[in-house]
Structure 1
Amino acid sequence: MDLPGCDPARLDRTYAQFSVVNRAVAGWRGIYRTHLRPVLSATTVTTLLDIGCGGGDVAILLAAWAQRDRLRLEITAVDPDRRAFEFAGRRKHTRDVTFRQASTAELAAEGLRFDVVISNHVLHHLDAAGLPQFLAESALLCSGTAIHNDIRRSPAAYALFYAASWAFPGSYIRADGLTSIRRSYTTAELRAATPPGWAVARRSPFRNLLTLNRNPGGD
């Protein structure tokens, strides 16, 4: 699905089906409860950057949960891929979510800073050289907490996704997902590749959560 000449109809179905996959396995409901909701306020706006937002479903979910809890959250969701940006922009979303076609380097060059920086399923796309650069840029953009949520590689994860992914015909979900699992880090590998200051936590099912707290002594 990353190839520029891939079928646009199948790509749109893939972005749409990511909503189902992320709700089922990405664990953002728990991340929202444990990491995001405690730093949000009912009176002060918290700004959040979603890097590599793809079809935009995670940003829209987080905005909906914050709105339901009467917490003020403004989300900027970015992806350098024009196709992802255009698909996300067509989704129904509130004014609390803004989609942009942009890279982290472009945002950093603009001098932007966000209270919270997140990503979903981005880390496994990065090699040994790309990961430190990505983390440095996300740290530069973050004034508070950074949370990068990704797949944790294991034979069981591959086997279960292989069996379940037949439920998503007509898209790139199956091929992309199996490739992503093969490329993803184990917890030990991610810890070894991560610069000082970042923490890696193993989560279920088959997740790695990479976090940075810029204000460890703050409220």
Structure 2
Amino acid sequence: MKDPFLRRRSTHEPELMDDPNCDPVALDATYRLFGVINPLVTSWRPLYRLWIRPVLRAAAQEGRPATLLDVGSGGGDVARSLSRWARRDGLDVAVTAIDPDLRAYAWALAHDNGAGVDYRAQSSAALVAAGERFDVVVSNHVLHHLSPCELTELLTDTSALTRSVAIHNDLRRSRLAWLLYWVGTLPLIRTRTLARFDGLLSIRRSYRRGELADAVPSGWSVRRQRFFRLLAMFPAHAEPGRTSSSQPS
């Protein structure tokens, strides 16, 4: 670790999962492990209750199924969780999960396990070009992978795709977070998975609140969350449990 205090983002080190020639067995094991790790640390359950479920209920009150998009969905575990929670709440929602990586698309499609998610090997730009819209747009651990130009493009696409609210949930860079993850993933050292190396690198690549606030376009807000998380949200003035009446239809 070249910067032991993580004062600056580590933007030039590639993650192993991003290598198209990475070990397919290790990649498979990593997607499986994310299904265990993400529910423990990403806090999607409270985000669903505060921000997403009210939007889905508003759609139900209008007499239509709600729509939700997961951008850069990877193995699809977040999309499947959101679909299951909505179903348990008696809400009709069509969940779409997109990832331009064909390996992620194929893995997620093969492991849907009855969640009924619509997986697509597409980019957000392709959906914008097709004129698609969704009530809610989310992503998990995507922002730190992007260059400044790619970040702006994604958030611009997102604001065009959502009717109500968008939530990009990402890591918050912290030396303590890095140390806790280093200790917590010690049992993975002898396993054939990329989660330990890539997870530690992801923390070094991630933003601090002020950095991300400076990077997002106008109309977005950045919120600090527990478990070393940051949320980039649109619209910036949305409140938990409420949708904005000023958003375009």
TM-score bin, normalised by smaller chain: over 0.9
* Shift in Å, 1:39: 1.2
Query: Once superposed, which parts of structure 1, at least 4 consecutive aligned residues long, lie more than 3 Å away?
Result: 92-96
Aligned letter for 2:227? Answer: P
**Distance in structure 1 (CA, Å) of the matches to 2:207 and 2:101:** 23
Q: Which residue of 1 aligns with 2:128?
A: 108
User: Contact 1:73 / 1:96 at 8 angstroms: preserved in 2?
Assistant: no
**Distance in structure 2 (CA, Å) of the matches to 1:198 and 1:100:** 26
Matched, 1:89 2:109: yes
Deviation sequence 1:75-124 (CA, Å, 0-9, x none): 01000000000000011343641101011111111111111111000000
* Shift in Å, 1:218: 6.0
Aligned letter for 1:53? Answer: S
**Distance in structure 2 (CA, Å) of the matches to 1:89 and 1:96:** 10
* Shift in Å, 1:17: 0.4
Larger RCO (alpha carbons 8 Å, 6+ apart): 2
Matched, 1:198 2:245: no
Aligned letter for 1:86? Answer: A
Equivalent residues, number: 219
Q: CA RMSD in A?
A: 1.6
Alignment map for 1:4-153 (pairs within 5 Å): 4-41=20-57, 42=60, 43-94=63-114, 96-153=116-173
**Distance in structure 1 (CA, Å) of the matches to 2:129 and 2:113:** 27
Q: Name which of 199, 214, 217 aligns with 1:177.
A: 199
Deviation sequence 1:173-192 (CA, Å, 0-9, x none): 00110110000000111111
**Distance in structure 1 (CA, Å) of the matches to 2:114 and 2:90:** 14
Aligned letter for 2:50? Answer: T
Matched, 1:2 2:24: no
Deviation sequence 1:33-62 (CA, Å, 0-9, x none): 111111112453110110000000000000
Which protein is bigger by CA-based radius of gyration?
2
TM-score by length of 1: 0.95
Deviation sequence 1:109-164 (CA, Å, 0-9, x none): 11111111110000001122221111001111112211100000000010000111
Which segments of 5 or more consecutive residues in structure 1 lack a partner in the other structure?
none
User: Contact 1:54 / 1:84 at 8 angstroms: preserved in 2?
Assistant: yes
Q: Name which of 228, 231, 242 aligns with 1:209.
A: 231
State the SS of the aligned residue for 2:67: strand
Aligned letter for 1:143? Answer: R
